[in-house]
Amino acid sequence: MTKKRREKREKRRRQASDRVPVPSRRGRRSPVPYVVGAAAALAVVAVVALILVSQLGGDEASAPESPPIWGPSRILGNPDAPVKIVEYADFQCPYCKLVEGKVAQLVQDYVQTGKASLEFRNFAFLGDESVLAAEASLCAEDQGKYGAYHAALFSIQGRENSGVYNTDKLQDLAKEVGLDTATFKDCLTNHRHRQEVLDERQLGRQAGVTSTPYFLVNQTPILGDRPYGDFKKVIDAELQRTSGGGS
């Protein structure tokens, strides 16, 4: 092979190597960016869907408030029932608030079935705000809305004598439960039920009450927020004793 022919062959080889194709940007890419992008898009869709559901179905998802235990007054049930239950309580007492669930069960099991009557008495012994809250509840009872106001008082319960049950807030509650606010204000600011509240506290002391909640089932005391079975045991025993009933 002549030198000239060798030079031509070498030149063609170099030109061929220079034409090695470079991958095009329009070719097949790694699937990873697509997967990540799809996941992000799905996440956005899911968040939007949750927002829409919460907005459209929020009212249905929220649990309705429980109805008040008490009615227009502080006495429930047949006054001639064989068992008479009296509860002494203070609106500032946290255990009095906790025991409300058991009181509701007592109403269902014994009061609504005619086996017992139930009465709430104020034992306002934890300070001035206890007395004022009790007065306010009786002002509400004057207008036939004791139960709603009773529940409202417990719903805003805070630390003892911390200003939760001041005159302004008690009047705000009156408006919330639909009382005639002018009549309520006159009743509360003139302390029309102050003496009644103090008399009930003294009556409780004479009955042996030293703390709250305190229950009397006929003459049998139940102290504190006891298990529901303790209430049932005492009430059933009284039913057996007084009328040969039971439940």
Residue 10 falls within a domain, yes or no? Answer: no
The radius of gyration computed from the CA coordinates of the chain, to the nearest angstrom, equals: 38
Q: What is the CATH number of the domain that holds 190?
A: 3.40.30.10
Tokens of 26: 């329009």
Tokens of 116: 């017992």
Residue 152 falls within a domain, yes or no? Answer: yes
Specify whether the CB–CB gap between 121 and 91 falls below 8 A: no
Number of helical (H) and strand (E) elements in the chain, helices listed first: 10, 5
Model confidence pLDDT, tens digit, residues 185-238: 999 999 999 999 999 999 999 999 999 999 999 999 999 999 999 999 999 999
Beta strands in 90-227 (DSSP E): 116-122, 214-217, 220-223
The tally of domains found in the chain comes to: 1
Residue 108 falls within a domain, yes or no? Answer: yes
Residue 21 falls within a domain, yes or no? Answer: no
What b/e string do you get for 163-185 counting C-beta neighbours within 10 Å, with b at 16 or more? ebbeeebbbebbeebebeeeebb
Residue 53 falls within a domain, yes or no? Answer: no
Q: What does the alpha-carbon distance between residue 141 and residue 120 come to, in Å, rounded to a whole number?
A: 12
Residue 29 falls within a domain, yes or no? Answer: no
For position 70, what pLDDT does the model report? 87
Tens-binned pLDDT, residue by residue, of the chain (247 aa) = 555 556 656 655 555 444 444 333 333 333 444 434 444 444 433 433 333 333 333 332 222 345 578 889 999 999 999 999 999 999 999 999 999 999 999 999 999 999 999 999 999 999 999 999 999 999 999 999 999 999 999 999 999 999 999 999 999 999 999 999 999 999 999 999 999 999 999 999 999 999 999 999 999 999 999 999 999 999 999 999 987 654 4
Name residues whose C-beta falls within 8 Å of residue 47's C-beta, 6 or more positions apart in sequence: none
DSSP structural state of residue 8: H
Cα torsion 32, 35, 41, 45: sign = negative
Beta partners for residue 119, in sequence order? 75, 86
Residue 155 falls within a domain, yes or no? Answer: yes
Instruction: Residue 133: give the domain boundaries.
Output: 75-243
Residue 239 falls within a domain, yes or no? Answer: yes
